Chain A
């Protein structure tokens, strides 16, 4: 078992051009043994932050500490951090075993012990028989596992993964996600995982840090960022969403204009504020009958339905607003385009943003 270490980022910034910050004042405490994802679109600063932790970029401001020890001035080769690169970066002129053994060689590990560790690492990633192969003779998935073994063999304080599954096809990616989680569980080492794929982040992480324009908009468990996003960006980046603008009234009731009021249960909200209300598409129900005359706010005109096999995405309009609804296939009524139907949502599962 490796000793899990914590990582602390304080006011971390990086700018390449004056006035433009690629990373803008990041504060983050990563717990020992945690699997945390840096999630965000391209250019959001997640990879730059990772590079600063690894030591390949110098921060313009701020500090990085591992287990309380500041490492800003430490060169990358002395940081004892494992890293899996996006393109694996395996040494083409060395065999698999030599690749995996490289960090041990740098640490002057004795031959016998090094061989033992290499064998263990390769076994852990399921490549025990591949020691003598050349990297270019391996498939993408196998190369990725070698890169992982190489990053873990020297029992680092921390492991950084820079979109490692990006080049793999869907089935393989899902397999590797499970593998990575298993290895994380077995080793208990702190892992930082950079990705732009939110389903991946949701599936694998203990916590997710959502990056946007060089800042972290929210850090939380998958459930937290999914059900209680703090900003519109987080709400729309993770999962499918409906974001309705409205005005707060009394007792936590928000007036959504043509869509009517929604009782969010947020009595702490002062009235008269502009907010956005997040309603996840799967919390909206539709029924084939048209609503009663008094309830015309719940009338939906269907524009498009998309069949995903296990569920349907229904795109419609109500009161001039676009609405997205997810319906399990077994519950899906037979409704053609242009048809009208009733819809309703569970107000208690709606979430208010921006108050």
Chain B
């Protein structure tokens, strides 16, 4: 059975959270639900930086390398002369590579977010958890 503390005001909620942590409850066992992101929570619970940044880096780098490789490879595969410009035109290809970096970076970041947040959650789509505008602290009980 999870213990829940529900608050209407942010400062009350934060105070309780501080007390709980000071009181020795492990931050790992504490989950909070807020209507909007509350940054103080992360300080109190000593939450590290989100690992999402690795997805972003992965996405951006893959976009970069794919863009550079793809544009160059396709141009060399069937080298057609166009306007006297070199077959591998770096300024032109940089533009496409840049866009692909952003595209892959953004899409993979979003996918990373979904993976990390375990969304979409079919359970929660079926029976939504509604806390409204309240701030909720949930403590996992022992044995779970």
A pairs with B: no
